[in-house]
Structure 1
Amino acid sequence: MPGSEGACREPIALALTGASGVHYGLRLLECLLAADECVWLMLSKAAQVVIGLETDWQLPGRPADVHAALVERFACSPRQLRVFGREEWTAPPASGSARCRAMVVCPCTTGTLAAIAQGMSDSLIERAADVMLKEQRQLLLVVREMPFSVIHLENMLRLARAGALIMPASPGFYHRPQRVEDLVDYVVARVLDHLQVTHALLPRWGEEENA
């Protein structure tokens, strides 16, 4: 049940960056918390700006205040969610010894993509992604840009070769979406599948015919 106080599995790190499409990241966060997952959340400064532009929601600046606002909004247990500052270098995601089974950057800007591809680690988000690669853990990058330049494509190829999974925010239409939310759920469902998190966001191909 959402909001339970029991222990959950090893956490999933979720980073929201400043690409358009912040609804993908917020919906993913909502679904992970509803599935009783523990989430380590990181927000870039640009992500907080985009949240204000693309939603009717204004997140506070301090991580503790962001935590309180999200716990209230998603009615989850405070223990399920940790929010880290952009330069909180002592945070668990910055170390390979911390227990973290996967990381998702959603949405992922091409700037963040480039920094991760080059191993820059100038922010906690970039360092956390670098940790996932060096520890050979699951790293999913939901890139949101169009069109892609040769630079973007080369960075994606480099990261794919390093073990990251590139998941551009490209919703399908075979489920006949009726609302924008249906398109968001399509992308979020594919991410949840790769995280092995159970969901019922959309019918699976062929299941309705078999039923």
Structure 2
Amino acid sequence: MRVAADAPVTFGITGASGAPYAVAALRALNESGTPVRLIISGYGLRLLAEECGIDGIDGLRAATGDWSRVEFYDSLDRGATPASGSAPSRGMVVCPCSMGTLASIAAGTSRNLVERSADVALKERRPLILVPRETPLSLIHLENMTRLTRAGATIMPAAPGFYHRPRSIDDLVDFVAARILDHLDVPHTLGARWKSGERPVEDA
């Protein structure tokens, strides 16, 4: 199915550790002018407060720039727009993605709007990027990831690289956010890119 370049990205935030990755990716999406359908679980909101000091939706809005193209949905509303396969979308990312959410998506149980939206992405053959942040991984975790990969999802662990010689935590966070946007085919300016045989050129 061909989707317009200006179709929205569905963005889910759940309760796995890694809230800074979500904040960085959402900010970059806003800076790119990409429409976003945002869904945050109750534990996702708690995570934003505990890890980033972001208090509720107003706090997240203040931390991530222009929200003129962001639509926010209640995670308990499984009948909202992102739950429908007929609603155009260029794909979905769940960042961070808890192992409970990952397991539910793998099983197709769709307990809330995040999980139903992910189910829709899979059935409509749209990009689905899941960003887990867990270690170590049990066999159950790995089998769920394998099942989702076979179904068409991209499993992108929040594992930043170091070849760009990061100088701050923000550099590490941006590395992961950049990979997310790359796989959604969204232009961004998050850090330098690798060039064969040399270190990435650092931004001035």
TM-score (normalizing by structure 2): 0.91
Match of 2:64 in 1: 74
Residue 137 of structure 1: which of 103, 121, 126 is its match?
126
- Taking only the aligned residue pairs, the percentage that are identical comes to 47
Q: Secondary structure at the match of 1:96?
A: coil
CA deviation digits over 1:2-31, x for unaligned, max 9? xxxxxx810000000001111101110000
2 CA distance for matches of 1:95 and 1:51?
A: 27
**8 Å contact 2:23–2:63 — kept in the other structure?**
no
Alignment of 1:29-68 (within 5 A): 29-59=26-56, 66=57
Match of 2:113 in 1: 124
2 CA distance for matches of 1:34 and 1:207?
A: 28
1 CA distance for matches of 2:128 and 2:89?
A: 11
Give structure 2 stretches of 5+ with no counterpart.
none
Counterpart code for 2:188: H
Match of 1:103 in 2: 92
Q: Output the aligned Cα RMSD.
A: 1.8
Match of 2:11 in 1: 14
2 CA distance for matches of 1:145 and 1:190?
A: 18
1 CA distance for matches of 2:61 and 2:41?
A: 19
Match of 2:181 in 1: 192
CA distance 1:181–1:113, change in 2 (3 Å): same
1 CA distance for matches of 2:52 and 2:149?
A: 32
**8 Å contact 2:85–2:124 — kept in the other structure?**
yes
Q: Secondary structure at the match of 2:48?
A: helix
Number of residue pairs matched by the alignment: 196
2 CA distance for matches of 1:28 and 1:164?
A: 18
How far did 1:140 drift? 0.3
CA deviation digits over 1:54-91, x for unaligned, max 9? 112211xxxxxx2x55444434152x000000121231
How far did 1:208 drift? 8.9
2 CA distance for matches of 1:189 and 1:73?
A: 18
2 CA distance for matches of 1:24 and 1:77?
A: 18
2 CA distance for matches of 1:58 and 1:71?
A: 10
1 CA distance for matches of 2:62 and 2:20?
A: 18
1 CA distance for matches of 2:64 and 2:17?
A: 22
Query: Is 2:21 the partner of 1:24?
Result: yes
